[in-house]
A and B are shown apart, each in its own frame.
Chain A
Amino acid sequence: MKAGGVSVTLVESPDIKIIGVGEGTWPTMRASLERMGVSETDLFKHCDAAFKQGGKFAGWTTGAADDAYYHPLMLPHGFGQVNLVPHWLRRENNQSFCDFVTPQGRLCDLGLAPKLITSPEYKAVANYSYHLDAGKFAPFLAKHCIEKLGVRHVLGNITQVNQAESGDIRSVLTQEAGEVPGDLFIDCSGFNALLIGKTLGVGFKDCGDVLFCDTALATQVPYDTPDDPMPSQTIATAQDAGWIWDICLPTRRGVGYVYSSRHTSEDAAHVALAKYIGRELPARKIPIRSGHRETFWKNNVVAVGLAGGFLEPLESSAIVLVELSAKLLAEQLPANRHVMDIIARRFNDVTLYRWGRIIDFLKLHYVLTRRTDSAFWRDNVDPATVPDRLKELLALWKFHPPWFFDEFDRLEEVFPAASYQYVLYGMGFESESSPEALMDTELQAHRARQDVERQTADLRARLPTNRDLLNRIREYGLQPV
């Protein structure tokens, strides 16, 4: 490829299978794909993709039958102007925090799509990302990169890594295609971490003491009829020792139990999964080693994806980090070897910060539970398992609900303050606020609330069902404008 004088070669092993369970994404994916010049219509047609409008967390707070909250992808209404949290905390009606601030939870309940067939590609009426078949998505992207972006694709198993005296990688040797030299190597070798770990010896920071889930059982569930309704929210249902994901693609559901092997047995996990689905289906076991590399860029090697780290698949955070890392790398690609270490240091700072924030955010889902019915939930609220920074934030948020300006200072924060609001107040966190603070923004809040109700009624009337829109997209496609 010759974009800005850079040529990219992808060396892919024909023998190592992809993990293929990450089927949820974050709205960043829309921007990533659009930037790459991928047609959204093609994505829907070739990757069994569907819309995702957020996550629904069932049973995480009390475990009661009606215990559920949404983490939608739309920001609370007027988020830049007014913080609706203190206004909601007065609880003048029975609305959930989500329904108080956005229509999206109700759109999900009604099975409505986030846009219209007349909406252009990548344009949303209600913010969205995708559920997709990871096994189809990877070759789809590879094909796009080879055919449209001029990436060279080498199928080969790496048998040897050649290093210079400085430790820099000079080339990799493949059995099938000989030697592949390079100036910069991006390690996407998955759990193997061939370059960053095995060759350069960068250590792994385990975070299993914070996030306990270390195993997943994944399966696929067919629909009873091709027209079964399709939720556009990822449903995460809490279990005794973890949680079950439930993701609807147009042709099947992807369901899996993520659990802590210290808190349950594999047999018991199979039983829980079968109970959730309503029948027994063969499930694939996937180990999860929660944690990340101590450094992501060393010498001329950058680790992206599983080689950089992995966490339980809550909130689609792993794929977001892949996108953000790739973007950061593309934007700051070193002009030569001399400046590489400076950029590497920046990259490491930002990436380490992001991993830390993701771990905090995932832990937030557990630390707010009031469940005491199993050791898994009791152990999760043990202060020794809560990162210090998160502890500090929780103390702060008791009096200062998170908002626009607080704390979140990075240009591209993985999860914005809005996400924290949805989880905190979805799980019944209590913040105190002064009546004076409320009075100042009374009018703005009132208007925002009216807008939310008006918008909800309008969207309910206009939006097609999720299933209907996906069928139409596959038949007619979306227009580029």
Chain B
Amino acid sequence: MPPIDEPAAMTNIVPLNKETYRHLKVDSRASAAFDNRRFVQVIVKEFPLLLVHYPILFSKDPQTGQFFCGAMLGFDENENLFFEDWQQRELYRPLYLQRGPFYGNGPELAIDLDDPRVGADSGKPLFTDQGTPTRYLQSMIWAFQDLTAGTEMTQLFIARMLELKLIEPVDVEVEFDDGSMRRCIGLYTIDQDVLARLPDAVVVELFRRGYLRLIDYMIASLKQVPVMARKKNLRLLKATAGLASAVG
């Protein structure tokens, strides 16, 4: 998972200014090309919003091996079981995806002009006729303020969890009614045995820093795995039923 200000390959990122880009529009909706993924990076500030829909787990960046926090969205590659909900603008969509084609540029924003979501006629304008940021652009500015500070806070949280040996690998293994199995590897969660043995002083420290709450959110969010599995199961059954009627 790249840091927020590191663009992917083949981009044309320019600082955003109201003179040149006064009339630019951006499609802010969830789109298959960007939002269909099974895992997305999140920041600790989002945990309360995520917990009610998605399992929150740790994973490792394949390029650096560093831990990051993420929300699980599906079981298969490029599968987002919440995509339709997001298109309807229901359910919370993590900031890393809400950001769309925007990038950080110090305190300012930059935008990738080669991103297909940029320039769409149906998109949202960035500036008003008076040249002030629209509500949409303002929300992006706030999103980046959250992401910049939040990524650092999340790293601090992870570092403390590692120090206390509170991170352990978890095997997410699910069997579906069509007989298929999914095993998601490279995921980590809170080690509850280690948690239970922490000395009182450390528990108080974690509580004061707000980490105990985050830990509880992560543990509770694991209950979303079976909920997601049921969602996926229904889809698989529908697909099988469709196949059966086509054959019949």
* CB under 8 Å from chain A, chain B span 217-240: none
B60, CB-defined interface residue at 8 Å: yes
A472 within 8 A of B: yes
Contact between chains at B65 and A480 (CB < 8 Å): no
Residues B66 and A480 in contact, CB atoms below 8 Å apart? no
A352: interface (CB < 8 Å): no
Q: Is B46 an interface residue (CB 8 A)?
A: no
C-alpha gap A247/B1 in the complex (Å) = 35
- From A476, which residue of chain B is reached at the shortest CB distance? B64
Contact string, A104-125, partner B, CB cutoff 8 A, digits 1/0? 0000000000001111000000
Q: Size band of the B side of the interface?
A: 10 to 19
Tell me the bound Cα distance from A119 to B185 in angstroms: 12
Whether A478 sits at the interface, judged by CB under 8 Å, is: yes
**In the complex, what residues of B have CB within 8 A of residue A475's CB?**
64
CB-contacts of B61-107 with A (<8 A) = 61-67
Using an 8 Å CB-CB cutoff, how does the interface string of B145-189 with A read, 1 for contact, 0 for none?
Answer: 000000000000000001001011100000000000000001010
Report yes or no: A479 in contact with B66, Cβ–Cβ below 8 A.
Answer: yes
Q: Does A477 contact B (CB under 8 A)?
A: yes
B65 engages A479 (CB within 8 Å): yes
Closest CB in chain A relative to B182 CB, distance in Å = 19
Q: A118-B60, A118-B186 are in contact. Are A477 and B162 (CB under 8 A)?
A: no
> Which residues in chain A, 429-445, are within 8 Å of chain B measured between CB atoms?
none
Q: Which A residues, 193 to 241, have Cβ-Cβ distances below 8 Å to chain B? A: none
Bound-complex Cα distance A475 to B64 (A): 8
Q: Report the separation of the CA atoms of residues A479 and B64 in the bound assembly, to the nearest whole angstrom.
A: 10
B165 to A480, Cβ gap below 8 A? yes
> A residues within 8 A CB of B61?
118
Give the residues in chain B near A479, CB-CB below 8 Å: 60, 65-67, 162
Cβ-defined contact, A476 with B162, below 8 A? no
> Who on chain B is nearest to A478 by CB?
B65
Residue A481, interface by CB 8 Å? yes
* A481 contacts B65, C-beta separation under 8 Å: no
Residues of B near A119 (CB, < 8 A) are 65
With a cutoff of 8 Å between Cβ atoms, the chain A residues found around residue B62 in the complex are 116-118
Q: Are A480 and B64 touching (Cβ within 8 A)?
A: no
**Which residues from chain A contact B63 at a C-beta distance below 8 Å?**
117, 472
Q: Which residues on the A side are within 8 Å of B162 (C-beta)?
A: 479-481
Closest A residue, CB atoms, query B62 = A118
Interface-central residue, A116, A472, A478, A481, by most chain B CB under 10 Å: A481
Residues of A near B186 (CB, < 8 A) are: 118
CB distance from A345 to the nearest CB of B (A): 41
User: Contact string, A465-481, partner B, CB cutoff 8 A, digits 1/0?
Assistant: 00000001001111111
| Inter-chain contact A481/B168, CB cutoff 8 Å | yes
Q: How far is the CB of B29 from chain A (nearest CB, A)?
A: 33
Question: CA A475 – CA B65 in complex, angstroms?
Answer: 11
Complex: chain B residue closest to A118, CB-CB: B60
Complex interface: chain A residues within 8 A of B168 (CB):
481
Q: How far is it, in angstroms, between the C-alpha of A476 and the C-alpha of B67 when the chains are bound?
A: 11
Report whether B65 and A476 are in contact in the complex, using a CB–CB cutoff of 8 Å: yes
Query: With A and B bound together, what is the CA distance between A415 and B218 in angstroms?
Result: 46
Check if A117 sits within 8 Å of B188, measured CB to CB: no
Which residues of A sit under 8 angstroms from B64, Cβ to Cβ?
Answer: 117, 472, 475-476
Which chain B residues numbered 108 to 139 have a C-beta less than 8 Å away from chain A? none
B2 to chain A, nearest CB (A): 13
* Shortest Cβ distance from A475 into B: residue: B64
- Provide the residues of chain B in CB contact with A478, threshold 8 Å: 65
CB distance from B236 to the nearest CB of A (A): 27
Contact yes or no, B66 A481, CB < 8 A:
no
A477 to B67, CA, bound (A): 11
Complex CA distance for A319 and B60, rounded to whole angstroms: 34
How long is the Cα–Cα vector from A478 to B162 in the complex, in angstroms? 12
Contacts of A476 in B (CB 8 A): 64-66
Q: Which of chain A's residues has its CB closest to B188's CB?
A: A481
* Contact of A477 with B165 at beta-carbon distance under 8 Å, contacts A118-B60, A118-B186 already known: no
Which residues between 68 and 125 of chain A lie within 8 Å of chain B, taking CB atoms?
Answer: 116-119
Residues of chain A contacted by B188 (CB below 8 angstroms): 481
Residues of A whose CB lies within 8 Å of any CB of B are 116-119, 472, 475-481
Known: A119-B65, A479-B65. 16 other contacts (CB 8 A): A116-B65, A118-B62, A118-B65, A472-B64, A472-B65, A475-B64, A476-B65, A476-B66, A477-B65, A479-B60, A479-B67, A479-B162, A480-B165, A481-B162, A481-B165, A481-B169
> Can you report 17 A-B residue pairs in the complex whose CB atoms are below 8 A from each other?
A116-B65, A117-B63, A117-B64, A118-B61, A472-B63, A472-B64, A472-B65, A475-B64, A476-B65, A477-B65, A478-B65, A479-B65, A480-B162, A480-B165, A481-B168, A481-B169, A481-B188
- Which 7 A-B pairs give the minimum distances between C-beta atoms? A117-B65, A476-B64, A118-B60, A118-B65, A481-B167, A476-B65, A479-B65
